[in-house]
Structure 1
Amino acid sequence: MYSSQFDGASMFSGGGFMSSQSTQATDSGSFTTKSRGGLGLLPLTVKQINDAYLSSDDKSNFMIDGVDANIVSLVGMVMNKLEKVTDVNFTLDDGTGRIGIHRWTNEDAATNEMAYVNNGMYVRVNGQLKEFQGKKQAVAFSVRPVTDFNEIANHFLECIYIHCHNIGSQNSGSDEPQTSPGPGLMTPSQNGSMKHQPSIMTQFSGHMVDAGSDFDQMVLAVFHEPENLAKESGVHVDKIVERLGVPKNKVMASINYHTDNGNIYSTIDDYHYKSTIGG
């Protein structure tokens, strides 16, 4: 059922491990903003989560390296899987620590997904950090078996890269700690106009924020529209079909692709999806 979405060669595309980053202008015509509210999927290790602390201004969000850790991505081994009627719980061990994972299975898609997840299997978990009875856990919206073990090494490289960047931003006095906000955002230029800026993880690795084919990028662009980011329940599949004028099965194939890659997640049912950029 699961095919590998990981392309090991793509992480070195662009000519180098550390690609150059855009610099923020410091003249009076520019401005800076803090990366708040979980702008995207943040690759983490369990140890980083265990060391996280609650932000002072938002008791529901954890702070890691100066960034709100809301929507996160983890890779590790499944242990102690426990299936119930409406949910599945298991422990994820990534070698740096262990964390509890909770996956609701009210919908058929989630039930089918978890049927392929077994103890001793390596998986990628995309979900939201929570605290319950004093313990940190992740409420997953995607649990995908790892089929290419290069993905494990790549994940830890991503964790190191983002950690070093965010720590470096703090040490240099920058006001912009970074998460991985998805495949390209609009950012202000020096003259006040808006320009397209690839995300850090797009420059570093084609896996974490891979937007796929041209059609996949068109689908993702709909989710990234401001009015759709603001919707709590996300976007209905039929809206995308109507918007793009293509068959529903083609849209669903693209949605499954983006779900597997952590770009979007299902909300109130199997037909409503929301971008991870919106938290």
Structure 2
Amino acid sequence: MPGETTSPAGGKGERNDTLRPITIKQALEATQPFPEANYQIDSHDLGSVVFVGQLRNISRQSTNVTYKLDDGTGEIEAKQWVTPGTEDSMDTADDLAPAANGVEINGYAKVFGKLKSLYGDRKVVTTHSVKPITDINELHCHFLEAAAIHLFFTRGPPPSAGGGGGAKDAAMGGVGAGGYGGETGGGHLPAMSPVARRMYNLLKNKPQTNEGLAAQQIAAELGLPMADVARAGDELLTAGVIFSTVDEQTWALLEY
């Protein structure tokens, strides 16, 4: 996976900048090949993760806010650390109050963070972002993305639009270093419009955060109207080569 390596000596390796949609069950069943190693799902190291769930409890302390979430596959806590006593910080306990970020008990939320262990084998997600979900379709879409990536790792990539190439790669049990990045070898891109290909190449080559690139930034980088970027985004989402992150107009590349 891009941005991910494991050192021969058994250390944690270099920084892993990938973002993977998961279910809570996958988080709870994640394994470590050795102590202090990165957690793995489907034998692949985890960087950042994103999951969705229904909020069962919110507990505020002076140093953190703890959210307990349930997605139907299991329950897990997400812990957001705060810095008390810093008036200018957006990370104070008051700023992270449930009413401030829009989340509430029995509502649904999307959580971004890293899978960690506390007090032995108890898994938690240390989070930097907990956002409310107001459209139930976002919940369904997340589970489809998590399932698609699980199948990608366990059964290989889907066939390409042209047939043979993708099927051949799947039969070989995976793709090359480029994943879906056709120009870099391994895997094959589906047919797409010129604007969608420009957008894909930008997402592939532009340095970015775990949350990907927003539509406004893509439009500015490519000199395109927002309407064209939105259509290209829909095309790439339908093709299964990108996924939405913090909102419906921020995208990251589904590339492993």
* TM-score above 0.5: yes
Residue number among 78, 82, 100 corresponding to 1:105 in the alignment: 82
The question of 1:145 aligning with 2:132 is answered yes
- Aligned twin of 1:130: 116
Shift of 1:105: 2.4
- Aligned twin of 1:6: none
Residues in 2 aligned to 1:70 and 1:263: alpha-carbon distance in whole angstroms: 22
**Structure 1 residues 154, 131: CA separation in 2 closer, same or farther (over 3 Å shift)?**
same
Residue number among 15, 38, 47 corresponding to 1:70 in the alignment: 47
- Aligned twin of 2:161: none
User: Where do residues 26-105 of structure 1 align in structure 2 (5 Å cutoff)?
Assistant: 36=5, 38-56=16-34, 59-105=36-82
Residues in 1 aligned to 2:24 and 2:71: alpha-carbon distance in whole angstroms: 7
User: Where do residues 171-182 of structure 1 align in structure 2 (5 Å cutoff)?
Assistant: 172-174=172-174
- Deviation per CA, 1:17-48, whole angstroms, max 9, x where unpaired? xxxxxxxxxxxxxxx97954544210000111
Q: For residue 188 of structure 1, what is the amino acid of its counterpart?
A: T
**Structure 1 residues 55, 99: CA separation in 2 closer, same or farther (over 3 Å shift)?**
same
Shift of 1:163: 0.5
Shift of 1:64: 0.5
SS in 1 for 2:149: helix
Q: For residue 260 of structure 1, what is the amino acid of its counterpart?
A: V
Residues in 2 aligned to 1:276 and 1:55: alpha-carbon distance in whole angstroms: 27
Q: Give structure 2 stretches of 5+ with no counterpart.
A: 6-14, 84-88, 157-169, 187-196, 205-209, 222-243
- State whether residues 46 and 74 of structure 1, in contact with CA within 8 Å, keep that contact through their aligned partners in structure 2: yes
Q: Give structure 1 stretches of 5+ with no counterpart.
A: 1-31, 203-207, 220-257, 265-274
- State whether residues 211 and 246 of structure 2, in contact with CA within 8 Å, keep that contact through their aligned partners in structure 1: no
Shift of 1:210: 6.5
Shift of 1:81: 1.1
Residues in 2 aligned to 1:263 and 1:127: alpha-carbon distance in whole angstroms: 20
The question of 1:167 aligning with 2:149 is answered no
Residues in 2 aligned to 1:55 and 1:187: alpha-carbon distance in whole angstroms: 33
- Aligned twin of 2:12: none
- State whether residues 40 and 276 of structure 1, in contact with CA within 8 Å, keep that contact through their aligned partners in structure 2: no
Q: For residue 45 of structure 1, what is the amino acid of its counterpart?
A: T
- Report percent identity of matched pairs: 25
Q: For residue 125 of structure 1, what is the amino acid of its counterpart?
A: V
Q: For residue 217 of structure 2, what is the amino acid of its counterpart?
A: F
User: Higher relative CO (CA 8 A, sep ≥ 6), structure 1 or 2?
Assistant: 1
- State whether residues 215 and 249 of structure 2, in contact with CA within 8 Å, keep that contact through their aligned partners in structure 1: no
- State whether residues 63 and 69 of structure 1, in contact with CA within 8 Å, keep that contact through their aligned partners in structure 2: yes
- Deviation per CA, 1:210-258, whole angstroms, max 9, x where unpaired? 7333435668xxxxxxxxxxxxxxxxxxxxxxxxxxxxxxxxxxxxxx9
Count of residues paired in the alignment: 183
Q: How does the TM-score come out when normalised to structure 1?
A: 0.53
Residues in 2 aligned to 1:127 and 1:83: alpha-carbon distance in whole angstroms: 18
Residues in 2 aligned to 1:65 and 1:178: alpha-carbon distance in whole angstroms: 19
- State whether residues 41 and 262 of structure 1, in contact with CA within 8 Å, keep that contact through their aligned partners in structure 2: no
